[in-house]
Amino acid sequence: MPDVRRFSAESLTRIGCALFEAAGCNEADARTVAQHLVESSLFGHDSHGTLRLYEYIDQIRAGTFAADGRPQIVRERGSTAILDGGGALGAVAGR
């Protein structure tokens, strides 16, 4: 039987923050993404949770995502808006 290890949500968030900061994200963005991934796992959506951590780091390194990406509102009209994510990670753009 494989060795199963359990980590607290706080530990995973702290590790995720450190990894995203090491990849170039600022502290607030690193925390936003790490918390989002951990929460997804806690809700049972592992395919969108911490499983993606290393994939996101690899995509930052490859330039697919911008560690310092800043979303901008392109156009607003009534109750709708068009947003350019600026290459930011989804959790950052959605914040």
| pLDDT tens, position by position, 1-28 | 678 888 999 999 999 999 999 999 999 9
Residue 77 clears pLDDT 70, i.e. is over it: yes
Tell me whether residue 77 is in a domain: yes
Q: Which residues of 64-95 are buried (b: 16+ CB within 10 A; e: fewer)?
A: ebbbebeeeeeeeeeeeeeeebebbbebbbee
3-state secondary structure labels for all residues of 22-81 = HCCCCHHHHHHHHHHHHHHHHCCCHHHCHHHHHHHHHHHHHCCCCCCCCCEEEEEECCEE
Residue 1 in any domain: the answer is no
**Whether the predicted pLDDT of 95 surpasses 90:** no
Residue 14 lies in a domain: yes
Question: Which of the pair, 2 or 83, is modelled with greater confidence?
Answer: 83
4 belongs to a structural domain: no
Amino acid 5: pLDDT = 86
Q: What is the CATH number of the domain that holds 21?
A: 1.10.1530.10
Range of the domain at 53: 9-94
Residue 37 lies in a domain: yes
The total number of structural domains in the chain stands at: 1
Q: Tell me the pLDDT of the chain averaged across its residues.
A: 94
Q: What is the pTM of this model?
A: 0.87
